[in-house]
A and B are shown apart, each in its own frame.
Chain A
Amino acid sequence: GNSVTQMEGPVTLSEEAFLTINCTYTATGYPSLFWYVQYPGEGLQLLLKATKADDKGSNKGFEATYRKETTSFHLEKGSVQVSDSAVYFCALSGSWQGGKLIFGQGTELSVKP
């Protein structure tokens, strides 16, 4: 079946450190891939997306590249800030499943000053 696997958290970094959160997926066909961010006590916000192989999504300094050959969509940021502390969810969606989102388990990021 279709699934998403993220690296386990929590991830704790110092401010200005480099961030990588790994995400791999299993899917039939060609899914769209997403990263959502959830700040404490809030709903999910779309951080970035990619809809086909080799697409790079980017937003607010975060980037992720859709790698079909490795079925991955790793999230990266060159220099994290305290305000980036949140839970990050990798997700996929495809027309074969009625557009439903399949989420990874989420990775909690804590950035210390």
Chain B
Amino acid sequence: DAMVIQNPRYQVTQFGKPVTLSCSQTLNHNVMYWYQQKSSQAPKLLFHYYDKDFNNEADTPDNFQSRRPNTSFCFLDIRSPGLGDAAMYLCATSRPLVKSYNEQFFGPGTRLTVL
């Protein structure tokens, strides 16, 4: 089945130690998103890629970076994790229609713990 895959499902890191979360998709969608979600709050969009074009949200901290080496893969890098970065990180994809990005397909998420 076509899907969005996130690895690992659970990640533990130490305060200040860089960490990378990965997302892959077999849907061949050209838009990929990264969200941060805390405690069953609504997901907060960090940034997204439209093909190779990177689009950062205005309030995303510089500590968060992203890479998309090809259509299928997208990475979230947290350069110096703080305790406040502990959260669920969700990857999503979509395929734009003529005038809209339409629905997004989400992966299962990576739960990040910062010690």
Instruction: Tell whether, in the assembled complex, residue B40 and residue A43 are in contact, meaning their CB atoms are under 8 Å apart.
Output: no
Instruction: Tell whether, in the assembled complex, residue A99 and residue B31 are in contact, meaning their CB atoms are under 8 Å apart.
Output: yes
Instruction: Encode B92-114 as 1/0 by CB contact (under 8 A) with A.
Output: 10101001111111111101000
Q: How far is the CA of A81 from the CA of B100 in the complex (A)?
A: 34
Instruction: Encode A74-110 as 1/0 by CB contact (under 8 A) with B.
Output: 0000000000000101000111001111011110100
Chain B residues positioned under 8 Å from A43 (CB to CB): 4, 6, 90, 106-109
Q: How far is the CA of A112 from the CA of B107 in the complex (A)?
A: 28
Q: How far is the CA of A104 from the CA of B111 in the complex (A)?
A: 22
Chain A residues with a Cβ closer than 8 Å to the other chain, count: 25
Instruction: Encode B60-75 as 1/0 by CB contact (under 8 A) with A.
Output: 0000000000000000
Q: How far is the CB of B106 from the nearest CB of chain A, in Å? A: 4
Chain B residues with a Cβ closer than 8 Å to the other chain, count: 26
B11-52 with Cβ < 8 A to chain A: 31, 40-43, 45, 48
Q: How far is the CA of A97 from the CA of B104 in the complex (A)?
A: 14
Q: How far is the CA of A43 from the CA of B111 in the complex (A)?
A: 10
Closest 5 CB pairs of A and B: A99-B101, A103-B42, A43-B106, A95-B99, A44-B106
Interface of A with B (CB < 8 Å)? Answer: 32, 34, 36, 38, 41-46, 49, 87, 89, 93-95, 98-101, 103-106, 108
